[in-house]
Structures are given as structure tokens and as C-alpha cells.
A and B are shown apart, each in its own frame.
Chain A
Amino acid sequence: MSAILDAKIPEGPLEKKWTIHKESLKTVSPANRKKMHIIVVGTGLAGASAAAALGEQGYRVNVFCMSDSPRRAHSVSAQGGINAAKNYRNDNDSVRRLFLDTLQGGDYRSREANVYRLAQVSNAIIDHCVALGVPFARDYAGYLDNRSFGGAQVSRTFYARGQTGQQLLLAVYSSLNRQVAAGNVTVHSREQMMDLVTENGQARGIMTRDMVTGRINAYPAHAVVLATGGYGNVYYLSTNAKHSNGSALVQCWKKGAFFANPSFVQIHPTCIPVHGEYQSKLTLMSESLRNEGRIWVPTRKEDVLALREGKIKPSDIPEERRDYYLERRYPSYGNLVPRDVASRAARERCDAGFGVGKTGRAVFLDLSGAIAKDGKACIESKYGNLFQIYEKITGDDPWKEPMQIYPAIHYTMGGLWVDYNLMTTVKGLYAIGEANFSDHGANRLGASALMQGLADGLFILPYTISDYLAGKIGEPCPDTATPPFVQVRGDVQKRIDRIMALKGNVPVDVFHRELGNMMWEHAGIAKSAEGLSSLISRLGALEERFRNEAGITGSQATVNQELEKAIHLEDYFTLAGLMVQDALHREESCGSHFRIESQTKDGETLRDDDRFQYVAAWEYKGQAEAPLLYREPLVYEETRMTERKYI
């Protein structure tokens, strides 16, 4: 039996925990805040909002982003919306209902107290974003509009056309800009975190690489906040932006931060299907389309064949020869089942030979009914940009024939383990947003990523980090000439030299694509002990080939995108190994983690609460040794766990 982790969940009834806890947290006086230095890595919703909120309080904040501007962060790609328990539709929504939906959506593998807190602060997020000038969709009377998302029977999702993420990030990036102008925040763009500097188990600062000059820079701080997003790009093809990577997570893991539930990876059901070898990424079609769209495949194989041969069009197939399989299998939620359920159902139909498209790995998302009912203008005002994206990528006109979609890697629920204060197992190192594992359990509900990023950044971290910093008053900011910094600087330089010395002629992309294919095949929608075990040796062999055959051209003293890719790929190998290990150990199915050995007779996930009702947190034990498992038991004080049913 491995050691147990303490999440430091406060005592008291669920509704009161956060309030009681906040009151117990120490604060720092305004005069002292000016002397406290905080590093925030990443400028997505979590990072930018945290940096702005900390700057507003008067802390000295250094912010890092890999892009040319903080505004490029991948949060901008979120299309559909952000959840909150406002109950503006009078459909009996409440904090408790949002909490329960999120907990159930995560298949009871998230921490009850954290999820409750998330639901509690959700309403203040909407208030703040409206105050910052987010042009949310409104009805004719001027009230905020809502739409529905998967895993909920209420309408609680706020949105700004198909650009909700972009608009929210623009708002908090503007707040960040205001703090830059005020002199509280400094932004370091085109600068990539290369390592965490620790001393006596405490975070002291970070080492970065300037991506333009290649210079290695040391930055000291009293506390470090990681807001670097997820690691879905392990799979090469995903909906993630190309710069999204897991490197900062791996660096921190190797410095003592435990990694929780690494195998919990969300697969989004509505993406444009893979169509070619050269493809660099997959594009999401917002889940909001499932509000009005119906998902189907033909019921007859001859129709499948005729479609593939181009003899008929989808619209030629009459109603009675269409299988609206989500409506058939899940009558009460229909097309709005959670993402993992919809993804597996699509795969099941395609495996059974009913998949459409050139490759047979696609299903139809059909909005023709909605277009006929509400008119093209109405649908265009809601989803116009999505139709345009689809047409540009596929060359097909989605107004005439239904879209083809297929599941793709989208979001990682796993991440650095954090306690109730969002602190990792390294003192003074915090992880927020997608970078931590906290609130989504084994599956995240749609429109909850934006909510969690902003909840962490605006209303949770600024309180909890002050409690830690209160214990650092009078302590000077660490000196970068001291041994811990000198040592890490040397390590980073050695690593870059080692990569630059790769002497082959095979591009890094080739290995990355191969890694992705392998992981998608055996650690994707469905996983088995056999497939996962086979990955272990194949991963090792691929990494070996990478070391022998990869080539990096150019110099390290200038922009070198091949070097950047190679750095990330090394870390993806580390992550892939960890993900496989975690997936192998969790011999149950829950949420997005589907072990074929553990399913009901209807093919649904089968949890094993007796054995696996815990968070699996892994400690790095060195390159040559297997990581060590710690468990955080999940105790549901006030929630009755049920079988997750969407029928």
C-alpha cells in the first residue's frame, strides 16, 4: 500500500468550507505586497487572470508566455461558452446543481470540496467579465442569453458568438495590460520556461530560454504559479494549439511536484475528421452545435457504401434509414450526453462498420432540421463562423449536406496534483487552470474549462497564495547567483547542447507523429492491458530512434523552432510513459478513461469504487526508476454516489 496524500480540505459543511477557509487564510499588508515577487507562467485565462488579480492587489508579478503576445494563449480557441449557476432561465439551476452535474460528469473522480467551490464562484465570474466589457450574447430586452451543453439539463452556458474563449481572454488580457501600465506586472513574451528552481523543497524561481536570442535567463520569486495548460499534444493530432505543450509540467514533476491522474484525457466528439498524412492539427466544431444538431449514421451498410462511392448524398437517405444513435441509446439526454459518452458511441458505430466519409471514421452532425425550422439566418447568427471554418477546411458546403465529425483529443483532466489551496507538493509552487488536475475528475463537462481557469485565477489563487506569502514577509527575493540557480542554469544549457548535437536527418515531427499514432491507438478512446503494455517497449524504441536519427538544423542562438519541438518531444516521451503507467494501474473505467476489461454489458463505463475511488498522484523517482504512486482517497461527505446514467 502506498502513502496517502492530504488535500487539506477544510472542516465544516460543504457550503461553508470555502467561506470558513477564506476567513482562516492569512493576508499580506499592501506595503509588504510591493516587496513580494510572484512568477506566473502562461497567459491563458487562468494565468492572465491570476497575474492581473495579483497585480491589482499590489504584488510584483513576472508573467511568461511563449507567443509574441499574451493574447495568443490557447484559451482563445474555446468556442462554445462558460458555465455559471445564475439560474437566469428559471429552470431550477443552482450552485448545488452545477456542482452535482460537474461531479457526475467527472464520474466521481474529482474532489467534492473543490468542485463545490468552483460552482460557488461561477456567478462572480460572469459579473466580473461583464464589468470588463465582454460582449456576451443578449436577448432583445438586453438580458444575457444562455445555451445548453452536454451533461446538463439546464441552460447555464453564457457565450459570445462562437468566440467565447477569445472574448474572455481579451478581457483578462486587458486587465493584465492595465497592470503592466500600472507597473505591477512585467510580461516576458517569446520566453519559454526551461526549468523550475527549488531549494529545500521550496520553489525559488524559474529558468527560461529567450526564444529569439537563445539566452538562458534566471528569474527569482517568492512563489511560482504554473498556468501552462494541458498536454493533449502528446497525441500529435489534437484540437490543441501547436504551442500548447507539457514541458513545464514535466519540469515541475521532475522537481518534486506530483502528477495526478495523467491518463485522464478528454476526447471531444465533434471534430473535423482526420483526412491526411500531412495534417498538423484537428479542428473542433463546438459542442454547442449539439444543441440543434442531430448525430446519425445510416442504418444500412449498403447506404454506407453508396455514400463512400459518391452514388448518393447524405440528404438522399430517408429518415427511417438513419440511426440517431445518441437519441436511441440515451433518450433523456439525447445528443447532449457528456463528451466521453458521445465519443465512445461514435467509435462504436464506426467499429461496427457504419462510419461514413472516405476513411469510414466519421459520423454525421446534421443541422438541416434546425435550418428548416429556424431559418438559415438564425442558425448563421449562432454558428456562422463554425460553418465557415468547416467549409474552409473540408471544401464541402455544410449548408447543403451534414457535417462529418469524429472524436479527437481535446483536454487533459490530469495535471499537477494540488491541494485545496492549489499548491503542488513543492512548497510555493501553484498550478491553476488545465495545468492542475483538480475539478473535472475523469471527464470535463463542456463550458467548464473557461469557468475553472477564471475561478482559479480570479477568486481562488489570489487568496490562497497570500496565505503562503504571509509567511515569507521580510524574506528577500532569492539571489540568482546562488548555487540552486547556477546548478539549474548549467543543467538547462547541457540539455540544449545535447539536443543541438543530434546528428541524424529525420525531422522531429516524424517521431512526434509516430508517438501520437501509437498513443491514439492504444491510450485513446479505449484502452486495454494488452495494448497499454505493448506501448511501454514501443515508446522506448521510438525514443531511442529519436536520439539516433533525429536532426536539428540551425543554431541555438537565434529563433530555432526545430529545437523548440525537440524539447517538447522529449517531454512528451516522459509524459506518454507516465500516462501509460497510470492507465495500466487503473483497472476500471471511469469518464473518459475506458478500459475495455471494465464495461457493462451495454458497453458503458464500469467503475470500481472499492479499488479506485482515489486520485492517483505519481512521484518522479529518476530517469531509470518507475514513478511512485500516492493515493488521495476521494471522500464524498455530502454526495450520494450513483452510477453515471444519461439514459
Chain B
Amino acid sequence: MFFILKVWRQAGPRSRGHFQLFDMDGISGDTSFLEMLDILNNRLVSQGKETIAFDHDCREGICGACGLYINGRPHGPDDGITTCQLYMRRFRDGSVITVEPWRSAAFPVIKDLMVERKAFDKILQAGGFISANTGSAPEAHTTLIARKVAEESMDASACIGCGACVATCKNRSAMLFVASRVSSLALLPQGKPEAARRARAMVAKMDELGFGSCTNIGSCQMECPKNITITHIARLNREFLYRPG
């Protein structure tokens, strides 16, 4: 297959970026999107040119490291996957593919397609945990949790922290990310004692770090590779407003 790639190049956080065009020929449809970038980078090395920096790691859709804005959508045109799970057979032969980094004030570009997502760590440090010290836990069956509740908690907890929700939101809000952790823990009896403090602290940190507000557009749930829904944002709002404590 043949593609024209239009890739965002940026030398560093404070440099001005630009698009660069590459002709990509001889690409098999069974090549993953990131493997296609590998091939491009290898060609660049052979020509003595600097390679395109991008984040990636597990290449099976679970680590959350990769995240490219492809043809105007985070993780590309398919639903429910990360960039590394996107295959070239999904694109039309001869088409132009635009590749950009996540764009958000809270995720500054490090280089080319690589962004800094430390803000997510900081939000979780503000309260995205249950304060159980190692060695202090009671026997696991002391508290029974109905299957439905455990499954719903798992639905929320499927977040891999990739940042697609922020990248697609017109407000650059991190509400779906915050909601996934708050909702997952608030559903479980173990997470309830700290629930109110957790919701407030995480939302305050999100605001402080420059993420926008949520206006219920719902694009985050459209782009979430793990199909997390905005029902969890509703639960976050309830925890934030009504949970006593």
C-alpha cells in the first residue's frame, strides 16, 4: 500500500512545530500503525536523518503509552482501540494520513509526537488511592461485593491513562480520567471511607493543572479506547457534591 504521511515535527517544548510530508510506499496492510512509523524511522536512519519521536511500549493496547492524533481523532479512526492496535489495512490505499501529538496545555509536547503526561500522575497523587498500609488488610472475604458492583467498578477501572479523553475534549477536560478512578473506588466498600475527600482533592488538582471543565459533550466516551462511559462522570459529580465528609 502507499500513503502520504503528514507528521508533526517539533524539536522541543519551546520550539515552533511544523508538518513534514513523507511518502510511504510498500506498506503491507498487516503492518500496525506504529510498525509503519518504525519503517519510516528506519528509512530516515538510512538517509542519515533524525527519527520521529513517539511514545509506545506494550504494543498490545494496555500500557497507555502510545497516543497519536490521527486524521483528527485520538488513536485513529477505529473505536475501542489504542494507536498500537490500529492496522494499515484500515486506511485507503493512496490516502493522506495526518499524525499529530495530543494537544493540551496540560500535556506539553516534549518532541515531535511525544507529550508529557505527568499531570495525570499528579491528579492520582492527590487522592486516587485507598490508604491501606501493606500488612494491614483483613482476610479478602471479610467484605463481600456483589458481582454487579465489582463489574461496574472494573468497567471504570479499565482506564489506561492514555489521555485520549483530554485530547478529544474541546475543553481539554480530564473529567473522564478523574471519574474512572473516583467511580471505581467509590463503588467498592473499601473505597468509601475516603470517597468524599478523594473526589474533591482530585478535582481540585485537575483544575489547578490547567485542564478544562466538563460541559457534557461526551466526545471522551466516544474516543476512550477502553469504552469508559460518562456515567462515571455522573458518579464523580455525585461524589463531589453530595458525599458527606
Residues of A within 8 A of B (CB): 49, 52-53, 56, 67-74, 76-77, 86, 88, 124, 126-128, 130-133, 135-144, 160-161, 163, 165-167, 170, 173-175, 177-178, 180-181, 187, 189, 212, 241-243, 275-276, 278-281, 283-284, 388-389, 392-393, 395, 458-459, 462, 505-510, 551-554, 558-559, 561-562
The 6 closest A-B pairs by CB, nearest first: A142-B144, A131-B137, A174-B129, A135-B154, A507-B42, A131-B132
A180 touches B35 (CB 8 A): no
| Known A72-B63, A130-B190, A178-B129; contact A56-B134, beta-carbon cutoff 8 A | yes
CB<8 Å pairs between A and B, sample of 7: A133-B191, A135-B157, A280-B59, A389-B85, A558-B11, A559-B111, A559-B114
Q: For residue B12, which residues in chain A have a CB less than 8 angstroms away from its CB? A: 558
Bound-complex Cα distance A330 to B55 (A): 44
B147 touches A132 (CB 8 A): no
How many residues in B have their beta carbons less than 8 Å from beta carbons of A?
Answer: 84
Most buried by B among A49, A143, A278, A509: A278
Which residues of chain B (1-27) have a CB below 8 Å from chain A?
Answer: 11-12
B147 touches A163 (CB 8 A): no
Bound-complex Cα distance A174 to B126 (A): 10
Bound-complex Cα distance A69 to B112 (A): 19
Tell which of A68, A74, A279 touches B116, judged by Cβ atoms closer than 8 Å: A68
Q: Report the nearest B residue to A185, measured CB to CB.
A: B125
Q: Does B217 make an interface contact (CB < 8 A)?
A: no
Q: Report the nearest A residue to B29, measured CB to CB.
A: A395
Which residues of chain B (69-124) have a CB below 8 Å from chain A?
Answer: 78, 80-81, 85-87, 89, 110-112, 114, 116-118, 120-121, 124
B35 touches A507 (CB 8 A): no
Q: For residue A241, which residues in chain B have a CB less than 8 angstroms away from its CB? A: 57-59, 63
Q: Report the nearest A residue to B156, measured CB to CB.
A: A135
Q: Report the nearest B residue to A88, measured CB to CB.
A: B141
Contacting chain A: which of B44-52, B166-174, B208-216, B231-239? B44-52
Bound-complex Cα distance A53 to B137 (A): 13
B51 touches A76 (CB 8 A): no
A280 touches B32 (CB 8 A): yes
A74 touches B58 (CB 8 A): yes
Q: For residue A133, which residues in chain B have a CB less than 8 angstroms away from its CB? A: 130, 153, 184-185, 188, 190-191
Q: For residue A508, which residues in chain B have a CB less than 8 angstroms away from its CB? A: 45
Q: For residue B241, which residues in chain A have a CB less than 8 angstroms away from its CB? A: none
Q: Report the nearest B residue to A166, measured CB to CB.
A: B62
Residues of B within 8 A of A (CB): 11-12, 28-32, 34-35, 38-39, 41-42, 44-51, 53, 55-65, 78, 80-81, 85-87, 89, 110-112, 114, 116-118, 120-121, 124-126, 128-141, 143-147, 150-151, 153-154, 157-158, 160-161, 184-185, 188, 190-191
A507 touches B146 (CB 8 A): no
Tell which of A70, A131, A144, A177 touches B128, judged by Cβ atoms closer than 8 Å: A177
B130 touches A278 (CB 8 A): no
Q: B66 to chain A: closest CB distance in Å?
A: 10
Q: B75 to chain A: closest CB distance in Å?
A: 12
Bound-complex Cα distance A92 to B143 (A): 23
Tell which of B50, B61, B130 touches A174, judged by Cβ atoms closer than 8 Å: B130
Q: B93 to chain A: closest CB distance in Å?
A: 16
Bound-complex Cα distance A52 to B135 (A): 12
Q: B88 to chain A: closest CB distance in Å?
A: 10
A166 touches B188 (CB 8 A): no
A127 touches B140 (CB 8 A): yes
Bound-complex Cα distance A507 to B15 (A): 27
Q: For residue A242, which residues in chain B have a CB less than 8 angstroms away from its CB? A: 56-59
A276 touches B31 (CB 8 A): yes
Bound-complex Cα distance A505 to B111 (A): 23
Q: B9 to chain A: closest CB distance in Å?
A: 12
Query: What 4 new A-B contacts, CB under 8 Å, besides A72-B64, A278-B35?
Result: A132-B130, A133-B190, A187-B121, A392-B86
A138 touches B138 (CB 8 A): no
Bound-complex Cα distance A127 to B42 (A): 48
Q: For residue A77, which residues in chain B have a CB less than 8 angstroms away from its CB? A: 58, 60, 62-63
| Known A133-B130, A395-B89; contact A561-B60, beta-carbon cutoff 8 A | no
Q: B112 to chain A: closest CB distance in Å?
A: 8
Tell which of A86, A170, A181 touches B140, judged by Cβ atoms closer than 8 Å: A86
B150 touches A181 (CB 8 A): no
Q: For residue A280, which residues in chain B have a CB less than 8 angstroms away from its CB? A: 32, 34-35, 38, 59
Q: For residue A127, which residues in chain B have a CB less than 8 angstroms away from its CB? A: 137-140
Bound-complex Cα distance A124 to B134 (A): 9
Bound-complex Cα distance A167 to B185 (A): 12
Q: B84 to chain A: closest CB distance in Å?
A: 9
Q: For residue B29, which residues in chain A have a CB less than 8 angstroms away from its CB? A: 395
Bound-complex Cα distance A166 to B190 (A): 19
Bound-complex Cα distance A18 to B141 (A): 25
Most buried by B among A69, A161, A243, A552: A69
Tell which of B34, B65, B150 touches A135, judged by Cβ atoms closer than 8 Å: B150
